Homo-oligomer: A and B are copies of this chain.
């Protein structure tokens, strides 16, 4: 019974598991949750649909595994304060240009409550946490992170999902030049004169 790695033992099926996950990410990204069928995913992975069930339990379970997403945000405390917007914008564009998982999550979040919940989690946990490290008054961090999310997700939506031509045509550097200052302002601008001051 005493093997060297009882838990981390490399299983023979790992390749299959990975193939399923890869196919699932692609399908979810292009078709959304509902239209992405287990049969299609299984066909892409050259595997029987029942294997998907065996390894991931259900379609929901498969999606949960496929939509695990790490924004890989840099430590904003180490970024020069006047380059926060530029840095963050460039990072996001690079990140989802290389990995379709976020687009899959975005497409699914439009109709699937669980996906929307996960989307909230990604931005609440990762983005808000990163923003908190770069903001003067911690009380405003959540609000600022929300505004940043609205612009960043709007960019992803118009560029990769709706595919608005003028947004698709901008190259990453132009994109950064235009929306970088927006992000910068959301992060560093003092609170607007509030009529009904909150916290």
Contact = CB atoms under 8 A, between A and B. Distances in A.
Interface of A: 31-35, 106-107, 109-111, 116, 119-120, 123-124, 142-143, 145-147, 149-155, 157-159, 161-167, 169-171, 173-174, 177-179, 181-182, 185-186, 192-196, 198
Contact of A158 (B149, B167, B192): B149
Given A116-B162, A194-B174, A35 B34 contact: yes
Q: Which 3 pairs from chain A and chain B are nearest by CB?
A: A154-B154, A146-B166, A110-B110
21 contacts: A32-B34, A34-B111, A109-B162, A111-B111, A116-B162, A123-B164, A142-B165, A146-B165, A147-B166, A149-B154, A150-B155, A150-B158, A151-B151, A153-B154, A169-B198, A171-B196, A173-B195, A174-B198, A177-B193, A178-B186, A182-B185
A54 to B, nearest CB: 26
B119 A111 contact: no
Given A110-B32, A171-B196, A164 B149 contact: yes
Contact of A153 (B158, B165, B179): B158
Given A111-B35, A151-B154, A116 B163 contact: yes
A107 B158 CA distance: 13
Given A110-B161, A154-B158, 10 more contacts: A110-B157, A142-B166, A146-B158, A146-B170, A149-B154, A150-B157, A150-B164, A153-B154, A169-B198, A174-B192
B164 A146 contact: yes
A166 B154 contact: no
Contact of A151 (B159, B182, B195): B182
A171 B198 CA distance: 10
A35 B193 CA distance: 43
